[in-house]
Amino acid sequence: MWQSNKLVCSSYVPRSSFASILVLLLVIIPLIVIVGFLSFYSPIFTIQNPSELLKAATSASTPTPTPTPLISSSQHNDASKAPSPFSSKETSEAPAPFTLPPPLEEEEVTTLKHKGFNEGIVTSKRQRRLKKIEASLARARSAIREAALVRNLTSTHQDPDYVPWGPVYRNANAFHRSYLEMERLFKIYVYEEGEPPIFHNGPCRSIYSTEGRFIHEMEKGQFYRTRNPDEALVYFLPFSVVMMVQYLYKPESHDIDGIQRAVVDYIDIIGNKHPFWNRSLGADHFMLSCHDWGPRASTFVPDLFHRSIRVLCNANTSEGFNPSKDASFPEIHLRTGEVTGLIGGEMPSRRSILAFFAGRLHGHIRYLLLEQWKNKDQDVQVYDQLPDKVSYNSMLKKSRFCLCPSGYEVASPRVVEAIYAECVPVLISDNYVPPFSDVLNWKSFSVQVEVKDIPNIKTILMGISQKQYLRLYMRVRKVQRHFVVNGPPKRFDVFHMTVHSIWLRRLNTQIEDQ
């Protein structure tokens, strides 16, 4: 019987074939299930190229190195003794187990990333701003140098209020240009840390009144103050040494630890909270004090003493006062807080007393003066205590020359008292830098007598001709505006001149943000 080679599809399967198929299915189906299960719960692993396969095989056959144990901050001293993970030298102790720190929460990771990013942006912005500030200061320096080339006695710059002129200035044109640049550019940031009465406060009715008045004017913020520290050229440390002495010092105890802690802690606080102190090590910061202990208070922080601008009444070069970075500050005794009744005096023709001084025995210079001249001469009237019913101010106003000897410290309020009374000041001191002496020519309106020449005071003053005296008298009247305390401050007065002294020191300092 002929059979066709054509395969006929039929539902009929021989019994032996059916059994074979059944066995095959029983083996294959479980395998498929197992493979599917494994593929569902296992990551997909693919080899992109042969080199990846080689790399995977190599990493699989290489043992994982033992991790280095972490060294805590308390173990840093022994870090050099710790075995290196790459050293072949065996140790008897097993390495400490490496423990991963707990993972940061997602929110913490985001915060840290954003913080680092923002800090980078802030730092970059500050660097750019500082470069702009330094560039503007460079242009100001150039303008002032150019103005200094003009040797006229009168400033060539226009000004609606006052145009400096005359020999009372070292260079009237340069000073005026500098003053105008200060008004245009200068910005001061006052640190807000600290609480009154020691911080942001000071006396306004005492021999230390200029310290308190300056602090209060800066707190008001009407002149030069900026609330943005990034745009400031200098930073004011608003502590009052006078108030520290009042509240932190026990009289006669000779214990100034409280003052030291206050100054050191304050610098630490602003250094930790703000980047500006550490950026310049204090070179663009300034403190201000009229107390005798002002210089001493600055010694508690070396950078404050050596680098910062110290505005001091006690401007004594033998005690570390550096005129190139520190500024002399006038000491003004305002008993009522005002200058009413203090300004002005008799005309030269009505000044009958050649020289006058009244003051207590403070320091060796006054001792020499009183020993030499007390009750000795009607032309040179020297008192340790005025007679009853004799007015101190009236004596100033009718004297030609007012003796201004140093006391325990070099500064004396008698210098400004003499200028107010239009009495030619006679400076008797060692190592004293007068206020605003980088702008004012003190020799043009005052007489300076060395301590060794105290016995010759009358001879020296009598040797000044009437013509010379009248010139001195007129120049005293001219510089008077720079020492007057006004409320509110007026251009070119003592407040603005003090700020100008700070401006000049900052002008000569270049700050870089590393």
Domain range for 134 is 111-181
pLDDT at 114 over 70: no
Residues 370-420 have pLDDT tens digits of: 999 999 999 999 999 999 999 999 999 999 999 999 999 999 999 999 999
Summarised one tens digit per residue, pLDDT across range 3-62 is 333 333 333 334 344 445 454 555 555 555 554 444 433 333 332 333 332 233 333 333
Does 239 map to a domain? yes
The reply to whether 381 and 281 lie within a common domain is no
- Cβ neighbors of 253 (< 8 A, separation 6 or more) are none
Count other C-beta atoms under 10 Å from residue 231's C-beta. 13
514: pLDDT strictly greater than 70: no
Q: How many CB atoms lie within 10 A of CB 80?
A: 6
pLDDT tens per residue across span 166-195: 999 999 999 999 999 999 999 999 999 999
Q: Looking at the structure, tell me whether residues 200 and 318 fall in a common domain.
A: yes
Q: Identify whether residues 324 and 373 lie together within a single domain.
A: no
Q: What is the pTM of this model?
A: 0.77
Please give the backbone phi and psi of residue 483, each rounded to the nearest 5 degrees, phi first.
Answer: -115, 0
Q: How many CB atoms lie within 10 A of CB 261?
A: 12
- 418, 396 in Cβ contact below 8 A? yes
Final residue of a structural domain among 131, 162, 181:
181
8 Å CB contact between 483 and 475: no
Report yes or no on 48 lying in a domain.
no
Give the 3-state secondary structure of residue 485: coil
> Can the peptide bond before residue 295 be classed as cis, meaning omega within 30 degrees of 0?
no
Measured N-to-C along each axis, helices 494-507 and 209-220 cross at an angle, to the nearest 10 degrees, of 80
Whether 158 and 267 map to the same domain: the answer is no
223/264 same-domain check: yes
Assess contact for 323 and 433: CB atoms under 8 A. Answer: yes
Of residues 34 and 350, the one with the higher pLDDT is 350
pLDDT at 121: 64
User: Residue 444's closest CA among 178, 171, 177, 66?
Assistant: 171
Asked which of 181, 212, 241 is the last residue of a domain, the reply is 181
Highest mean pLDDT among 27-31, 71-75, 203-207, 352-356: 352-356
10 Å CB burial of residue 471 (0-12, 13-18, 19+) is middle
Q: Once rounded to an integer, what is the mean pLDDT over residues 98-116? A: 36
Stretch 266-293: mean pLDDT = 97
Contact 314, 415 (CB under 8 A): no
> pLDDT band at residue 254, thresholds of 50, 70 and 90?
confident
459 within some domain = yes
**CATH at 461:** 3.40.50.2000
Question: Counting Cβ atoms within 10 Å, is residue 157 exposed (0-12), middle (13-18) or buried (19+)?
Answer: middle
Distances (CA, A) of 343 to 66, 207, 229, 398, 481: 85, 17, 38, 13, 10
- Evaluate if residue 200 carries a pLDDT over 90: yes
How many other β-carbons are positioned within 10 Å of the β-carbon of residue 299? 14
**Per-residue confidence band for 433, with pLDDT thresholds at 50, 70 and 90:** very high
Q: Is the per-residue pLDDT at 248 higher than 60?
A: yes
Quote the DSSP letter at residue 391: -
Q: What confidence score (pLDDT) does residue 185 get?
A: 98
Q: Give domain status of residue 104, yes or no.
A: no
CA-nearest of 202, 204, 160 to 183 is: 160
Mean pLDDT, residues 461-476: 98
Tell me the residue ranges of DSSP E strands in 359-434: 380-383, 399-405, 424-428
Task: Identify residue 399 by its one-letter amino acid code.
Answer: S
Rounded to 5°, the CA angle 285-291-293 comes to 80
| CA nearest to 313, candidates 204, 420, 211, 455 | 211
Same domain, 262 and 286: yes
**471 and 372, same structural domain?**
yes
Q: Which residue has the higher pLDDT, 160 or 80?
A: 160
Last residue of a domain, one of 119, 149, 181: 181
In this structure, is residue 6 part of a structural domain? Answer: no
Nearest one of 185, 183, 305 to 237, comparing CA atoms: 305
Distances (CA, A) of 185 to 89, 133, 140, 177, 233: 66, 9, 9, 12, 9
Average pLDDT, the chain: 82
Q: In terms of domains, do 305 and 405 share one?
A: no
When divided into structural domains, the chain yields a total of 3
State whether 173 and 199 are in the same domain: no
216 lies in the same domain as 176: no
Is 92 part of any domain? no
pLDDT at 47: 29
- The predicted-structure confidence for 472-498, as pLDDT tens digits, reads as follows 999 999 999 999 999 999 999 999 999
Specify if 385 maps to a domain.
Answer: yes
Best CA proximity match to 482, nearest among 496, 471, 472, 470: 496
Going by the DSSP 8-state scheme, the letter that residue 366 receives in this structure is H
User: Does 49 map to a domain?
Assistant: no
- Note whether 270 and 242 are same-domain residues: yes
Same domain, 197 and 303: yes
- Across 41-45, 63-67, 317-321, the highest mean pLDDT is recorded for 317-321
pLDDT for 171 equals: 96
Q: Tell me the per-residue pLDDT of 299-311, one tens digit each, with 9 for 90 and over.
A: 999 999 999 999 9
Confidence of residue 124 (pLDDT cuts 50, 70, 90): confident
